[in-house]
């Protein structure tokens, strides 16, 4: 993984604001993010995770490390008579995940189609549209604690979802990378 210096973030935020990250890297695997959390984050004064960059407003150059999440993939886990369990990696574009479900006739996420951003950012604010919310179909997520590098599972209740809210915007703000 390469850490770039003085990197323009213009292509990585939907406002297209041309600010610079002092340092910038792309993560493509779980090993990448674990390496970053365990070895790099102590070195930098600040860090910022970016998914699709559709819910951030970058006003100034960022003095620290910007980590662009490109960990993508979708996996079928299991199904029973009534439900199907699908896992998505956090850098997958949200709409790709919805389309995977629609194309396979897995109902539940259709109202959330075309919401910009990544799967990993979706629980941050319990994304919603047309009367549906992520929490209606969400089972659990894995998150890596920044302080320790340990992975924890948060089920639907543990995420404390509310209207455009979750534990990751409140008491656990900044404490985890959603994997
Ligand atoms: C045109 C437009 C339409 C929209 N419509 C809707 C809508 O209908 N409903 C709705 O709910 N929202 C909507 N949004 C908001 C946006 O789509 C969501 O907030 C989306 O989940 C943001 O995803 P992102 O990957 O772009 O997040 P980013 O903007 O990259 O990041 C948002 C925040 O989450 C953090 N973050 C990102 N990924 C992770 C991760 N893996 N782990 C930990 N922290 C992380 C970032 O550090 C940042 O603080 C809209 C936005 C736009 C621009």
Tell me the pLDDT tens digit for each residue of 4-51: 999 999 999 999 999 999 999 999 999 999 999 999 998 898 999 999
What's the pLDDT tens digit per position in 53-70?
A: 999 999 999 999 999 999
Q: Report the C-alpha gap between 84 and 100 in whole angstroms.
A: 13
What's the pLDDT tens digit per position in 98-120?
A: 999 999 999 999 999 999 999 99
Tell which one of 49, 97, 166 to mutate to probe ligand 1, the residue whose CB is within 8 A of the most ligand atoms.
49
Distance 81 CA to ligand 1 centre (A): 33
Distance 125 CA to ligand 1 centre (A): 8
Q: How far is CA 47 from CA 21, 26, 62, 105, 145, in A?
A: 10, 13, 9, 39, 14
Q: Please name each of the domains of the chain with its CATH number.
A: 4-69 (3.30.43.10), 74-178 (3.30.465.10)
**Whose Cα sits closest to atom 23 in ligand 1?**
117
Distance 9 CA to ligand 1 centre (A): 16
Which residues contact residue 148 at a Cβ distance below 8 angstroms, ignoring those fewer than 6 apart?
Answer: none
Tell which one of 17, 34, 51, 53 to mutate to probe ligand 1, the residue whose CB is within 8 A of the most ligand atoms.
51
| Nearest atom of ligand 1 to the alpha carbon of 54 | 26
The dihedral formed by the CA atoms of 96, 99, 105 and 107, expressed in degrees to the nearest 10: 90
Tell which one of 24, 116, 170 to mutate to probe ligand 1, the residue whose CB is within 8 A of the most ligand atoms.
116
Q: What is the pLDDT of residue 1?
A: 84
Q: Report the C-alpha gap between 78 and 31 in whole angstroms.
A: 25
Q: What is the pLDDT of residue 138?
A: 98
Distance 41 CA to ligand 1 centre (A): 22
Q: What is the pLDDT of residue 4?
A: 97
């Amino acid at each position: 993984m390469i850490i770039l210096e003085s990197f323009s973030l213009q292509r990585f935020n939907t406002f297209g604001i041309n600010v610079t990250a002092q340092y910038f890297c792309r993560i493509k695997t779980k090993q990448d993010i674990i390496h970053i959390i365990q070895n790099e984050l102590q070195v930098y004064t600040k860090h910022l995770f970016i998914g699709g960059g559709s819910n951030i407003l970058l006003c100034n150059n960022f003095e620290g490390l910007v980590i662009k999440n490109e960990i993508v993939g979708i996996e079928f886990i299991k199904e029973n008579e009534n439900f199907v369990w699908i896992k998505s990696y956090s850098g997958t574009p949200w709409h790709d995940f919805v389309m995977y479900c629609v194309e396979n006739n897995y109902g539940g996420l259709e109202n959330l189609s075309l919401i910009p951003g990544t799967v990993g950012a979706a629980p941050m604010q319990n994304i919603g549209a047309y009367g549906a919310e992520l929490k209606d179909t969400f089972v659990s997520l894995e998150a890596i604690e920044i302080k320790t590098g340990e992975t924890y599972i948060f089920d639907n209740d543990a995420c404390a979802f509310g209207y455009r809210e979750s534990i990751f915007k409140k008491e656990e703000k900044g404490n985890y990378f959603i994997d």
